[in-house]
Amino acid sequence: MKRIAIQGELGSFHDIAARQYYDGEQIQMICCSTFEEVFENIKRDPTVIGMLAIENTIAGSLLHNYELLRASGVTIVGEHKLHIEHCICCLPEDDWSTIQEVHSHPVALMQCRGFLANHPDLKAVEAEDTAGSAEYISRNQCRGWAAICNSSAAKMYGLKVLEDQIEDNKHNFTRFLVVSSPRKADFLRPLDKTDKSSLVFLVPHEEGSLSKVLTILSFYSINLTKIQSLPVIGHEWEYLFYVDVTYDNLIRYRQSIDAIIPLTRELKILGEYIGA
């Protein structure tokens, strides 16, 4: 049985993503209030796997998670892309005429701004989690409250769906990373079949320094799929670059890494895995 640490409650999008990724396998969820707790669980027990949202097609990158990922020492062993769909739900006794406020995670509220604008009488209240909002309403029998979450979470907690698929953009996807202790990484993904890698590095504060790195990656036919910069705290105008690359030849990929090492500082491979 695989034990997976997620941020949020059962029925959350992290829960859904983990169950889809490990479809057909026996899994046990470890529900965490924060992403920091996810990494603490892996550090405390190396057999624990983490599921970590890293990017959304509407909200963008989860910048804090990049820093947690780099500092934690875990290894990325996989990724999963999940179609995000939201519903509004409430207690079976409530309906449109009785609900007064709607609770959900700030990102979910943002992704349903158009829907909420059409219901100006509903007070939007930020919460830690989408599914957690549904669970709280169900457990405490909060009359007049509604939650925005996935319809599977509404069903899980016995709530009534007033309207489904209320997200503004129907092309709403979140990319999740599957992470583990480096000691367990080789057991969780076939290294010789990997075709994607996530890197982080510094470059000298000199003209063309980043361009030289990208030129070498291109020379080795390494495809750059994402680049994200974050400032180095305490070092003005210095940036860490988080880069995702794909490749179809593991040897050429390894050669490209050897070639860019002299041009970078503190280069770290965050994980080599099979892309979704």
Separation between Cα atoms, residue 138 and residue 142, nearest integer Å: 7
Q: Determine the average pLDDT of the residues in 49-68.
A: 92
pTM summary value: 0.91
Q: Average pLDDT for residues 128-147, to the nearest whole number?
A: 96
* 195-245 residue pLDDT tens: 999 999 999 888 889 999 999 999 999 999 999 999 988 888 888 999 999
Q: How far apart are CA 138 and CA 159, in angstroms?
A: 7
pLDDT digit string, tens, across residues 5-32: 999 999 999 999 999 999 999 999 999 9
The structure tokens listed for 128 are: 């830690």
Q: What is the mean pLDDT of residues 179-188?
A: 91
Region of residue 227 (left: phi > 0; alpha: psi -120 to 50; beta: else):
beta
Q: Dmax of the chain from CA atoms?
A: 66
At 99 the pLDDT is 97
Closest CA to 248 of 213, 205, 190, 197: 197
Q: Distance of alpha carbon 209 from its chain centroid, rounded?
A: 30
